[in-house]
Amino acid sequence: MKTVAEIEALLAEVKDPEIPVISLRELGVLRDIQVEDGRVEVTITPTYTGCPAMDVMRLGVEKALRKAGVGNFRVRQVLSPAWTTDWISEEGKQKLLAYGIAPPPHSSDVRTLTGKGPAIACPQCGSSDTVLVSHFGSTACKALYKCNTCKEPFDLFKCH
Amino acid sequence: MMTREEALYRFALRMGDNALVLSHRLSQWCGHGPVLEEDMAQTNIALDLIGQARNYLTYAGELEGKGRDEDDLAYLRTDREYTNVQLVELPNGDYAFTIARSFLFDAFHLPLLKAMASGKDERLKAIAEKAVKEVTYHLRHSSEWLVRFGDGTDESHRRAQAALDELWRFTGELFEADEAEQALAKDGTIPALADLRKEWNATVDRVLGEATLKRPDDGHMAHGGKRGVHTEHLGHMLAEMQVLQRAHPGAEW
Ligand SMILES: [Zn+2]
């Protein structure tokens, strides 16, 4: 029988299929793990309501559990409290940056919601001379930016 | 007198239908957007809305208690059984028309969701709490483009104004509460729709002002969508949207 810590360790291998460097825990999608009488319950929450990666994430959790010999489990999806980018861990943010995605600003910075947010630093060269191209990028969670210094386009994990 | 369950069912269905129909319309821009960024924006917004529609329709199916799931409700109902407002079913037209249609709806949708997020039904609350964040971006997107068109060239201004003039008569229905909406507003599950008009007016006046567009006069208002009476366009849209499930019931891939 596995403990919560063991389940947690094996689920650390389950990554976001669209950003395969960050785990569900680091992304804040994995909300809770309970083990009771040998039954495992994993709670996940979607990033965006229509995020097509959610089904793949759920399958990833189920696969990882089965692979570790856990048969008695349930993956539960909850909507509330609603996921926020503030739940992405510091480690997760560093991984996003290393992957070439600018991490999200904190949601309490209201200016980011009104579009008058702080300058976003280019993940390639670090320049803050960047400009928003579109609020909607390659996936639901990203916005498209362009760096005026190194001329490279890049994604921002947008504040949510 | 309608039971609370029945009122919740009808309202969840309405919210689901509004989101699904607008989502499908926006998805029709996929591969046809005026620029690549807008193609992606509209498909992202469509994706948010279809996610919301799935949540509402799943809930509606459970409330109805006849074993219908989200897919049954989306693909196996006729236009007369759809209860969305007529505004969202209108064909895309040019890009100014699509943007103006989204703007008029988003400006209503956002305050409605905000109020629902503090309402009395846990399930609707959870769906709304999440959707608020998404629709905040939708309203920002449609507002910015309406300003760009209105305060742009003579041609873009002319088209944006024509779109508003054409769409205006479909805005009245947004604020007309049916029996279910009245019942739910009474017990604090949802806001009274008429009360949302103030914020809608403020948003519309602010954005139209910035866009140098003229607010059309209130004249005859179209309605009927909420009780299944639609424009001729919805049937055509559903025929295309539903053809696969109608031809091959239960098909999966
Ligand atoms: Zn750069």
CA angle B191, A159, B190 (to 5 degrees): 10
Q: Do B125 and A80 touch (CB under 8 A)?
A: yes
Average pLDDT over residues B158-164: 98
Task: Decide: A108 and A132 in contact? Cβ < 8 Å.
Answer: no
Task: Decide: B227 and B82 in contact? Cβ < 8 Å.
Answer: no
pLDDT of residue B34: 94
Average pLDDT over residues B23-49: 96
Average pLDDT in chain B? 97
**Helix (H) or strand (E) segment spanning residue B202:** helix B197-210
* Upper half-sphere CA count for residue B118 (Cβ side, 13 Å): 4
Instruction: Delimit the domains of chain A by residue range.
Output: 4-83, 86-157
Percent of chain B with pLDDT over 90: 97
Helix, strand, coil in percent for chain A, rounding step 5: 30, 25, 45
Average pLDDT in chain A? 90
**Residue B1 above 80 pLDDT?**
no
pLDDT of residue B16: 98
Task: Decide: B245 and B251 in contact? Cβ < 8 Å.
Answer: yes
Cross-strand partners of A19: A16
Structure tokens at B139: 């309203």
Cα distances (angstroms) measured from residue B63 to each of A62, B4, B9, B52, B60: 29, 10, 5, 17, 5
Query: Closest Cα to residue A137, out of A120, A154, A159, A114?
Result: A154
pLDDT of residue B252: 85
Task: Decide: B231 and B79 in contact? Cβ < 8 Å.
Answer: no
State in Å: Cα A150 to ligand 1 middle.
4
pLDDT, tens digit, for every residue of A26-85? 999 999 999 999 899 999 999 988 888 888 999 999 999 999 999 999 999 999 999 999
Task: Decide: B79 and B235 in contact? Cβ < 8 Å.
Answer: yes
pLDDT, tens digit, for every residue of B49-67? 999 999 999 999 999 999 9
Cα–Cα distance between B2 and A101 in angstroms, integer?
A: 51
Q: Which of A91-105, A107-121, B118-132 has the lowest mean pLDDT?
A: A107-121
Residue ranges and CATH numbers for the domains of chain B are 4-247 (1.20.1260.10)
| Residues on B contacting A at a C-beta cutoff of 8 Å | 37-38, 40-41, 44-45, 47-52, 54-55, 122, 125-127, 129-131, 133-134, 136-137, 140-141
Task: Decide: B73 and B245 in contact? Cβ < 8 Å.
Answer: no
Predicted confidence band of residue A114 (pLDDT cuts 50, 70, 90)? low
Neighbour-count burial of B154, counting CB atoms closer than 10 A to its CB (0-12 exposed, 13-18 middle, 19+ buried): exposed
Predicted confidence band of residue A112 (pLDDT cuts 50, 70, 90)? very low
**Residue B102 above 80 pLDDT?**
yes
Structure tokens at B94: 């040019």
Ion ligand 1 neighbours (CB, 5 A) are: A 122, 124-125, 127, 147, 149-150
Task: Give the minimum alpha-carbon distance from B41 to chain A in angstroms, rounded to a whole number.
Answer: 5
Predicted confidence band of residue A116 (pLDDT cuts 50, 70, 90)? low
Cα distances (angstroms) measured from residue A2 to each of A11, A40, A73, B69, B118: 12, 9, 11, 35, 39
Cα–Cα distance between B253 and B247 in angstroms, integer?
A: 15
Contacts of B51 in chain A (CB under 8 A): 46, 48-51
Q: Which of A117-126, B84-93, B139-148, B187-196 has the lowest mean pLDDT?
A: A117-126
Q: Which of A49, A85, A116, A157 would best serve as a mutation to test chain B binding (most B beta carbons within 10 A)? A: A49
pLDDT, tens digit, for every residue of B113-141? 999 999 999 999 999 999 999 999 999 99
Cα–Cα distance between B208 and B143 in angstroms, integer?
A: 9
State in Å: Cα B134 to ligand 1 middle.
28
State in Å: Cα A146 to ligand 1 middle.
8
Q: Do A50 and B133 touch (CB under 8 A)?
A: no
Is A81 in CB contact (< 8 Å) with chain B? Answer: yes
Model ipTM value: 0.85
Q: Which of B137, B143, B147 would best serve as a mutation to test chain A binding (most A beta carbons within 10 A)? A: B137
Average pLDDT over residues A90-99: 95
Cα–Cα distance between B196 and B199 in angstroms, integer?
A: 6
State in Å: Cα A128 to ligand 1 middle.
8
pLDDT, tens digit, for every residue of B64-92? 999 999 999 999 999 999 999 999 999 99
pLDDT, tens digit, for every residue of B13-30? 999 999 999 999 999 999
State in Å: Cα B33 to ligand 1 middle.
28
Average pLDDT over residues B7-11: 98
Q: Is B229 helix (H, G, I), strand (E, B) or coil?
A: coil
pLDDT of residue A139: 84
pLDDT of residue A138: 83
DSSP, res B218: P
Q: Is A156 helix (H, G, I), strand (E, B) or coil?
A: strand
Q: What does residue A66 show for φ and ψ, rounded to 5 degrees?
A: -60, -40
CATH of span A4-83: 3.30.300.130
* Upper half-sphere CA count for residue B173 (Cβ side, 13 Å): 24
